[in-house]
Amino acid sequence: MALSSTAQTRSCPWCDSVETILVQRGYTGPTDEINQYFHCKKCGKVTYEIVSKTAREMRLGRFHAGGIYKDIAHQTRYQVNRVLKVGINEYLLYLKPLRSGDDTE
């Protein structure tokens, strides 16, 4: 994995490239995105940093700190670092990418 990431530059955990495009979470600005992620120009993978879930999704998915979040669409797995309740019906999952050799299950 890359040594560090700054607020402006993210390195891809899958191919270690720094050619990435960050999409920030927020309802103002160029996008109305509820999740925060970056897209690697070199390998084409999407890496999530923050994922928004409803209370119902939290119960059904059984998400908790230290657990595993699976992104079926992009075939990637993440460890849930933190779960933060930010509203009546919204939770934020802070994620850390897991490479295939980093499995903790």
With beta carbons less than 8 A apart as the criterion, state whether 34 and 52 touch: yes
- The per-residue pLDDT for 34 is 87
Tell me the pTM.
0.81
- Strand extents, DSSP E, 1-105: 20-23, 36-40, 46-54, 68-71, 76-85, 90-98
End-to-end Cα, the chain, rounded Å:
20
Helices (H), 24-91: 55-61
Identify the pLDDT of residue 97: 95
Each of the 105 residues of the chain gets a pLDDT tens digit; together they read: 444 445 567 899 999 999 999 888 876 666 677 899 999 999 999 999 999 999 999 999 889 999 999 999 989 999 999 999 998 999 999 999 998 766 554
Domain ranges of the chain: 20-102
What is the pLDDT, as a whole number, of residue 1? 40
